[in-house]
């Protein structure tokens, strides 16, 4: 298992990236993912070509806010048919730390099966690589 601190902006978190519901432990949020890509600038990307991670965990430490805008896919509907959007607030504290950073991304939420726009405020980010896939 490899952990890389920071470099959130060098992740590609759309185009099929899949996210599982978050797991909170104190002020740490862990989000299991599939099909997250690394840009050529990411330090774990040694080939300078887009790399897909089959399994990884996004870890946000010192989290003060996590809001998910959910639009569930309508089963049997036409392509890109969704329910009305709604929000899930995982955590929202009144006070954020002076070291908080904003992390925004979107992709596919596994449960419920939906498109998700995710907004997070946290002090730091770590990528935990569980299984690296092939080059795109």
Angle at 19 between CA 40 and CA 68, to 5 degrees: 110
Token pair of 27, please? Answer: 């002020």
Given a cut of 80, is residue 122 above it in pLDDT?
yes
The whole-number pLDDT of residue 135 equals: 43
Enter the pTM of the model: 0.87
- According to DSSP, residue 112 is labeled T
The whole-number pLDDT of residue 96 equals: 67
Token pair of 95, please? Answer: 């006070």
Cα 54 from chain centroid (whole Å): 13
The whole-number pLDDT of residue 136 equals: 41
Backbone angles phi, psi at 8, to 5 degrees: -60, -40
Residue of 9, 124, 119 whose CA lies nearest to 62? 124
What does 33-96 look like in DSSP terms, one character per residue? EESEEE-TTSTT-TTSS-EEEEEEEEEEES--EEEEEEEEBPTT--TT-B---EEEEEEE-S--
Residue of 57, 32, 35, 43 whose CA lies nearest to 9? 43
* pLDDT tens column, 18-40: 999 999 999 999 999 998 888 77
Rounded to whole angstroms, the Cα distance separating 67 from 97 reads 17
Q: How many residues does the chain have?
A: 136
* pLDDT tens column, 79-111: 677 889 999 999 888 776 778 899 999 999 998
């Amino acid at each position: 298992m490899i952990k890389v601190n920071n470099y959130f902006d060098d992740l590609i978190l759309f185009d099929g990236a899949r996210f599982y519901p978050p797991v909170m432990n104190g002020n740490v949020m862990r989000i299991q993912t599939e099909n997250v890509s690394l840009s050529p600038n990411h330090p774990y990307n040694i080939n300078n070509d887009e790399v897909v991670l089959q399994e990884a965990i996004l870890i946000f430490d010192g989290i003060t806010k996590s809001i998910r805008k959910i639009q569930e896919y309508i089963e049997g509907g036409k392509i890109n048919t969704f329910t009305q959007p709604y929000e899930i607030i995982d955590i929202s504290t009144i006070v954020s730390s002076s070291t908080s950073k904003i992390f925004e991304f979107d992709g596919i939420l596994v449960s419920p099966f939906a498109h998700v726009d995710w907004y997070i405020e946290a002090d730091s980010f770590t990528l935990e690589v569980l299984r690296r896939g092939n080059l795109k």
